[in-house]
Amino acid sequence: MMHMTMDELTVGQKGAVKAINAPKQLKRRLMDMGFTKGVGVEVVKLAPMGDPMEVSLRGYHLCLRKAEARAIELR
Amino acid sequence: MYTPIISNIIVALIILLLIGFAIRTLHRQGKKENCASCGTKKNSACKGCKFADSCH
Amino acid sequence: MQTIALIGNPNCGKTTLFNTLTGTTAYVGNWPGVTVEKKEGMVNGHRILDLPGIYSLSPYSPEEKLSRRYILDEQPDLIIDVIDATNLERSLYLTTQLAELGRPLLLALNMEDLLEKEGIRIDRKRLSQMTGCPVVQISASKGTGIKALLEEIERSLDQKRLPMQPLFSNFIERYITTIIKDDYLHQIPKGRQMRWAAIKLLEADELFLASMPQPPQAFQTYIEQARKELVEHYDDDVQAIIIDQRYKVAERIAKDCQIRTKKAKQFNFDNLATSKFGAIPLFIAIMAAVFYLSIGLVGGYTTSWLESFFAFASLHIQVLSDALQVHPLLSGILVDGIIAGVGAVLTFVPQLFVLFLLLSILEDCGYMARIAFIMDRLMRSMGLSGKSIIPLVIGTGCSVPAIMSSRTIEHQKQRELTVIVTPFIPCGAKMPVFALMLTYFFPGKWFIAPLIYLLGILAVVITGLLARALDKHKETNAFILELPRYQIPAAKNIWLQTKDRTLGFIQKAGTIILLSSIIIYLLSSYSFTLQAVDAELSMLATMGRLIAPLFAPLGFGFWQASVALLTGIAAKESIVSTLSVTIGTSSLGSFFTPDTALSYMTFILLSSPCIAAISAMFKELGSKRKLLFAVLWQTGFAYVAALLIRSATLLLL
């Protein structure tokens, strides 16, 4: 079964969060920022070197590294 | 006649005043745990972070 | 006297509101035991506290723990939740947690001036209904709604109404209700609400559990069973479930109270500042502009003028003193000590003023976060964080605030590495000696100045790469960063900060430099038998000759150079003032040569910083051992680099 994760999205692509697969601390932080099950995310842009990425969710924008975005599984 | 004495006293006083002021300022800084590097006020940039309300 | 707590997400404008409300009564202190700022002030005769910006009240980071403990133990009479009105849904997540703490809650929707621009409309009445809290719309930066806020504060302090409790799904509420009924909850510490405690028990919140006695076996079993059932039902751990529930509440409220209309895409500076091809050139251009304007332009004009002024002043004062038959000791202290030493430093005030001004604007307008975003990938390859670039930029002004600002880096190793490399960047205090050497030995070759910065950056890169190569773990930390809105910084803030830092520089000149110049003058004019002698036979020379040989390989093994370096420990500006007193700025050529001048500058650039910066490093690194390592690394690196530079220069010239 193919799992798509948020780091695989390119600019303009959207997705909905399915699960967060991360160690407890990172998971909690991501969830605190709003990455909960079902929430819609969209990639707004990538940094000049391709990483980090800026995404929009819940009406606001957030930057995070691709390594962290990989923890966010989408459907 | 007295000029040399007076002028010497004046110069000596100036020097002592400058030294006294310097020491007093440093002493005050030491007590406040401050240094002039960021600024002279209490609220200067040294204390705390400027870029995020939350530091680590 | 009643107490108000101000709380909210980072970047919600809380600090601006706090400053507006408290005016000059604000006071910055420290929370005992933590390195978090404590900001207090007075508003309308009430005490108000600005708690750190946080996204959540979980028991992990020092800021969250502090805010939570403060609210529960100190029991403020009112909590004002400052909400970025353009970010309602996410902001309400914290609100749901605040509502459970049992204190009156007031919602301040800040940044109302931006609502129209972003096409958002909020129904305040509905929001107030759904939360059970009074809602006031304000713009702290524009100053609107403040009067209404003050009125509402008085009303809330009077009525002491508690907010409504956000309710979770029925499935969860069942467990909560059962837990509340148990006798165990009657033992909760004062100020805690039962419902809040019940949720904490379900979450197995460590902080809460530590404050409670061991629960009876039956109750314990029930909670464990409840947790197990929750995990099975929701297919997730309990903490995640609760976070999810809170966001569902936030979503529900936001959906009901907020209308967003899509606005046409406007031009955003970020289209350039973070664009794939424009971002880095723009960054370089901005930094180059900062240095050109301050050191190149203003510095170019004012330095020579001020130098002539001090030369003029010292000459005339000397002549006057001689005419008035002032004792050479006194006139010597005044002219060759104080004026020579302090004057050498004061000539840099104008350009540093401009530098501080530009850096302050840069810091306050929001661009720094973009720099962190752009540079993160590059920084990480050097064992640093994107956020490390911020201290490096601030360090061009002064290392002390730069080192302090490394606190925003969450990862400890990255933060410590940042602290160690930040002093490699030339700070304002080192400029006088560079300028002196450059104009004397390399007149007209202005391109060497940027090379000094490049050398500092190179030192950062090399150290970073080495650290990364030696790091076995290679773990990284979360970078999660919210880009704050761009804003035209408040002129008053910029002015105050610039004025403050500049006055600080002048104050250093009038204190440390003044005293060290006098001492150096005296020590270099008299022998141990207190006879007036030539500098070469003076006390200072004898003492200096003890360490001078260490620097012989670097080409500056004469005592004047070592002594100057030693005075640099107090403040780097002292180096130029000491050289001025011991050698005289016009006789540099008798002691230095182009290659030794470069090696001297290199050593000064890279060796450990002034005592103020060292103590800042100590505060951030936390241990004497780490500090020692930092100082040794910096100084050792400086020595080797100076050696290499000297050899390279000799080969090339």
The answer to whether residue C214 sits within a structural domain is yes
Asked if ipTM goes beyond 0.85, one says yes
Residue with tokens 């104008």: C350
In angstroms, what separates the C-alpha of C476 from chain A's closest C-alpha? 9
User: What mean pLDDT is predicted for residues C9-22?
Assistant: 89
| Domain positions in chain A | 4-74
Closest partner CB to C482 (pick from A50, A62, A68): A62
Question: C201-204: long-range contacts at Cβ-Cβ below 8 A with a sequence spacing of 24 or more?
Answer: C202/C172, C202/C175, C202/C176, C202/C226, C202/C227, C202/C230, C202/C238, C202/C242, C203/C238, C203/C239, C203/C242, C204/C238, C204/C239
- Write phi, then psi, for B19 (nearest 5 degrees): -65, -45
Range of the domain at B34: 1-56
Q: Specify the number of domains making up chain C.
A: 3
pLDDT, tens only, C383-397: 888 889 999 998 998
pLDDT bin (cut points 50, 70, 90) of residue C270 is: confident
Q: What is the mean pLDDT of chain C?
A: 89
pLDDT, tens only, B4-54: 888 899 899 999 999 999 999 888 877 766 666 666 665 554 544 444 433
* Residues C202, C316 within the same domain: no
- Write phi, then psi, for C53 (nearest 5 degrees): -70, 125
Q: Give the pair of three-digit tokens for residue C34.
A: 């933590």
Beta carbons of B11 and C331 less than 8 Å apart: yes
Cβ-based neighbour number of residue C267 at 10 Å: 7
In angstroms, what separates the C-alpha of C424 from chain A's closest C-alpha? 25
B36 touches chain C (CB under 8 A): yes
Beta carbons of C325 and B15 less than 8 Å apart: no
DSSP state of C489: -
Instruction: Give the strand pairing for C78-84 and C105-110.
Output: parallel
Q: State how far the alpha carbon of C55 is from the alpha carbons of A40, C82, C500, in Å.
A: 20, 12, 32
3-state SS record for B8-49? HHHHHHHHHHHHHHHHHHHHHHHHHCCCCCCCCCCCCCCCCC
Q: Looking at per-residue confidence, does C297 or C157 come out higher?
A: C157
Closest partner CB to B26 (pick from C62, C404, C511): C511
CA C73 to chain centre: 29
Burial class (CB in 10 A: 0-12, 13-18, 19+), C619: middle
pLDDT, tens only, C437-477: 988 888 877 778 888 999 999 999 999 999 988 877 766 67
* Residues C444, C394 within the same domain: yes
Q: Specify the number of domains making up chain B.
A: 1
User: What mean pLDDT is predicted for residues C169-174?
Assistant: 94
Range of the domain at C611: 279-637
Q: Give the pair of three-digit tokens for residue C610.
A: 């002034």
Q: State how far the alpha carbon of A38 is from the alpha carbons of A15, A57, C109, C239, in Å.
A: 9, 11, 27, 17
Distance CA C400, CA B35 (A): 9
pLDDT, tens only, C41-99: 999 999 999 998 899 998 877 788 889 989 998 899 999 999 999 999 999 999 999 99
pLDDT bin (cut points 50, 70, 90) of residue C570 is: confident
pLDDT at position B53 is: 37
Q: Given C159, C181, C205, which residue is the final one in a domain?
A: C159
* Residues C439, C489 within the same domain: yes
Q: Looking at per-residue confidence, does C496 or C417 come out higher?
A: C417
Query: Can you tell me whether residue A28 is helix, strand or coil?
Result: helix
Helix residue ranges, H only, C292-348: 299-323, 328-331, 340-346
* Residues C89, C199 within the same domain: no
Peptide bond into A52 cis (omega under 30): yes
The answer to whether residue C252 sits within a structural domain is no
Tell me how many residue pairs between chain A and chain C have CB atoms under 8 A apart: 105
Q: Given C201, C235, C269, which residue is the final one in a domain?
A: C235
User: What mean pLDDT is predicted for residues C468-488?
Assistant: 79
CATH class held by domain A4-74: mainly beta
pLDDT at position B54 is: 39
User: Is there a contact between C370 and C393 (Cβ–Cβ < 8 Å)?
Assistant: no
